[in-house]
Amino acid sequence: MQLCANYKLAFSNLCQISSILGRKCLALGFFTFRGLILCSMKILMVCLGNICRSPLAEGIMQAKIEDHDLDWKVDSAGTSGYHIGQPPDERSILVAKKNNIDITNQRARQFAIEDFEHYDLICAMDSSNFSNLKKKAQIQDQLDKIHMIMNFSQHGRNVNVIDPYYGDEGFETVFNMLDEACNAIISRFKSNSI
Ligand code: 4NP
């Protein structure tokens, strides 16, 4: 009788374990399926003022999202609040226009802590933006979302997207650098999306 009870207990434990495992596998399968099929990336481009570099990065990425028919979102922000509510710098508007991209509707805003929740990828234009963002992060998950944008195309080199604000030159270079980085971001994450 005792032996029989032991078998019964072992059988019932086995059933319980396989039921839990089954549910876990179903959940895992669901999330993997969702991750592979429904992944919608949310990207935030960040510079200092949100009037020169990050609006260009947003405009370039938005154009590529549309070209590739991706279900992704992109926005931009500044680590400072110097230019809140302002349209992009005329020189950024001009270089974007030359490349058939309209960024005139964008308005500068300051990075907010809640952005860590809303975005999957936070792209800093230079090492100063990068360290300012890192200081704002409170948990590892938030730290992991912050990347130097040029590292997507020039891995591990920590190249800065030059700040063109104080000189008239550099906007073309900034555009070309961001175009290269945005192409790399698309290639890196596109395979996980529809
Ligand atoms: P951004 O450029 O960070 O690329 O928008 C700048 C815009 C404004 C200032 C500095 C950089 N500023 O000192 O006001």
**157 — pLDDT class (breaks 50, 70, 90):** very high
In the set 47, 52, 123, 182, the catalytic residue is: 47
The atom of ligand 1 lying closest to the CA of 48 is 3
- What is the CATH class of 40-190? alpha beta
Regarding the beta carbon of 51 and ligand 1, being less than 6 Å apart is answered yes
Q: Mean per-residue pLDDT for 11-18?
A: 45
**172 C-beta neighbours (distance < 10 Å), count:** 14
In the residue annotation, 53 being an active-site residue is answered as yes
pTM: 0.82
C-beta of 47 in contact with ligand 1 (< 6 A): yes
Residue 7 has pLDDT above 60, yes or no: no
| Pick from 90, 87, 58, 56: nearest CA to 75 | 58
Check residue 107 and give its pLDDT: 98
Whether 48 shows a pLDDT value over 60: the answer reads yes
Rounded mean pLDDT of 104-130?
98
Q: Residue 110 and residue 15: Cα distance in Å, rounded?
A: 54
Task: Determine the distance separating the centroid of ligand 1 and the alpha carbon of 50, expressed in angstroms.
Answer: 7
Classified as helix, coil or strand, 155 is coil
Q: Which of 74, 35, 27 is nearest to 194 (CA)?
A: 35
Q: In which band, very low, low, confident or very high, does the pLDDT at 13 lie, cut at 50, 70 and 90?
A: very low
Q: Tell me if 82 CB under 6 Å of ligand 1.
A: yes
Above 50 in pLDDT, residue 172?
A: yes
Q: Are the C-beta atoms of 175 and 18 separated by less than 8 Å?
A: no
pLDDT digits (tens, 9 = 90+) for 76-89: 999 999 999 999 99
Tell me, what's the pLDDT at 89? 98
Cα→Cα distances 194→33, 38, 68, 70, Å? 12, 7, 9, 6
For the chain, the average pLDDT equals 86
Atom of ligand 1 nearest to the CA of 108: 5
Which pLDDT value is given to residue 193?
52
